[in-house]
């Protein structure tokens, strides 16, 4: 599927894009371009300037991508909600990085096939650690989430640790999914990382400003965000809601108000 999507032949490109748009809810009205050499180029499209507004203030963290809120809430123990009736371990999801976020909060965003598939820095900060996990490519749609245990822990994924200006760590966990199952980071050669490192962990120091592009998915996908206390989901963040990159997802509250 990955090979076919990258075929740069006008008839193939037009036909495959037309089929994709027929079966998926695809909105190309805010794309930076109007023609693409392949289905892949259309899928990983960039948006025109100003199509997304990142408006999180210093005590807030924005959505890094467009998506549907699958689950959200407090992290009271090692496990968080995958879907109704199913939970999974954040220690397994992150390879042991979850302790810093106990007592904090999480939000899970699912990107449907027709959505914009690039993701961005949710606040000003620096990326200081990336770990890549090869894995499966289960679909991340609601029926599969209800059927497959520990789905996010089994799929290809990465943990991207970012520190805010005051040193607070936040963790973005991009999870790949069906068909192509590939994650690409703008500041790291993820293909080389997978091929050449026995232990795919990288320490780095990458400064990012809110809204700056961090990477993209080659196909279906999810991002799990883990934040420590005293961050909580922002008012109005509700399971099932659609959000756009830049919408406020978390707010920092004073400890007495938690």
Q: Which of 16, 40, 72, 120 is catalytic?
A: 120
Same domain, yes or no: 184 and 221: yes
Active site includes 117?
A: no
CB 213 within 8 A of CB 198: no
Same domain, yes or no: 78 and 29: no
| Among 51, 72, 87, residue at a domain's last position | 51
Same domain, yes or no: 76 and 186: yes
- The whole-chain average pLDDT of the chain stands at 87
Q: Where does the pLDDT of residue 181 fall: very low under 50, low under 70, confident under 90, or very high at 90 and above?
A: low
Number of domains the chain is built from: 2
The residue with tokens 């904090």 is 104
The residue with tokens 């490109």 is 13
d(CA 71, CA 177): 17
Is a pLDDT exceeding 90 seen at residue 68? Answer: yes
pTM, to two decimals? 0.90
d(CA 251, CA 95): 26
Count Cβ atoms within 10 A of the Cβ of residue 197 and give its class: 0-12 exposed, 13-18 middle, 19 or more buried.
exposed
Look at residue 180 in the predicted model and tell me its pLDDT.
55
Which of these ranges, 43-47, 64-68, 121-125, 195-199, has the smallest mean pLDDT?
195-199
Domain ranges, residue 144: 52-257
Look at residue 85 in the predicted model and tell me its pLDDT.
76
What is the mean predicted confidence (pLDDT) over 179-189?
79
Tens digits of per-residue pLDDT, 232-251? 999 999 999 999 999 999 99
Q: Which of 66, 105, 117, 247 is catalytic?
A: 66
* Most confident option among 1-15, 108-122, 127-141: 108-122
Same domain, yes or no: 78 and 109: yes
Higher pLDDT: 94 or 188? It is: 94
Same domain, yes or no: 42 and 56: no
Same domain, yes or no: 68 and 45: no
Look at residue 59 in the predicted model and tell me its pLDDT.
95
Same domain, yes or no: 38 and 94: no
Same domain, yes or no: 195 and 91: yes
Same domain, yes or no: 39 and 78: no
Look at residue 188 in the predicted model and tell me its pLDDT.
86
Same domain, yes or no: 64 and 170: yes
Is a pLDDT exceeding 80 seen at residue 228? Answer: yes
Which of these ranges, 5-14, 133-142, 156-165, has the smallest mean pLDDT?
5-14
Look at residue 170 in the predicted model and tell me its pLDDT.
98
What is the mean predicted confidence (pLDDT) over 204-218?
94
Look at residue 41 in the predicted model and tell me its pLDDT.
83
Look at residue 124 in the predicted model and tell me its pLDDT.
98
Q: Where does the pLDDT of residue 225 fall: very low under 50, low under 70, confident under 90, or very high at 90 and above?
A: very high
**Cross-sheet strand order for the sheet of 248-252:** 60-62, 248-252, 231-233
| Among 51, 70, 88, residue at a domain's last position | 51
Same domain, yes or no: 32 and 72: no
Same domain, yes or no: 37 and 121: no
Q: How far is the CA of 149 from the CAs of 55, 85, 143, 144, in angstroms?
A: 36, 10, 12, 9
d(CA 196, CA 132): 12
Active site includes 221?
A: yes
Active site includes 66?
A: yes
Q: Where does the pLDDT of residue 2 fall: very low under 50, low under 70, confident under 90, or very high at 90 and above?
A: low
């Amino acid at each position: 599927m990955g090979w076919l999507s990258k075929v740069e032949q006008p008839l193939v490109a037009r036909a495959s894009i037309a089929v994709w748009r027929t079966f998926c809810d695809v909105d190309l009205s805010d794309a930076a371009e109007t023609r693409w050499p392949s289905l892949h180029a259309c899928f990983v499209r960039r948006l025109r300037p100003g199509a997304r507004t990142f408006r999180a203030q210093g005590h807030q963290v924005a959505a890094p991508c467009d998506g549907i809120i699958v689950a959200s809430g407090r992290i009271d123990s090692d496990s968080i909600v995958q879907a109704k009736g199913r939970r999974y371990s954040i220690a397994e999801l992150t390879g042991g990085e979850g302790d810093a976020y106990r007592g904090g909060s999480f939000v899970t965003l699912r990107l449907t096939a027709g959505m914009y598939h690039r993701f961005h820095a949710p606040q000003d900060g620096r990326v200081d650690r990336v770990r890549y996990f090869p894995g499966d490519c289960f679909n991340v749609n609601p029926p599969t989430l209800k059927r497959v245990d520990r789905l996010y822990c089994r799929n290809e994924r990465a943990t991207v640790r970012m520190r805010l200006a005051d040193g607070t760590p936040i963790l973005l966990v991009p999870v790949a999914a069906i068909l192509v199952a590939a994650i690409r980071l703008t500041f790291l050669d993820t293909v080389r990382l997978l091929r050449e490192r026995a232990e795919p962990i990288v320490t780095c120091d990458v400064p990012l400003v809110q809204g700056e592009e961090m990477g993209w998915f080659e196909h279906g996908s999810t991002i799990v965000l883990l934040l420590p206390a005293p961050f909580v989901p922002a008012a109005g963040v509700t399971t099932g809601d659609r959000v756009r990159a830049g919408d406020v997802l978390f707010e920092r509250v004073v400890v007495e108000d938690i």
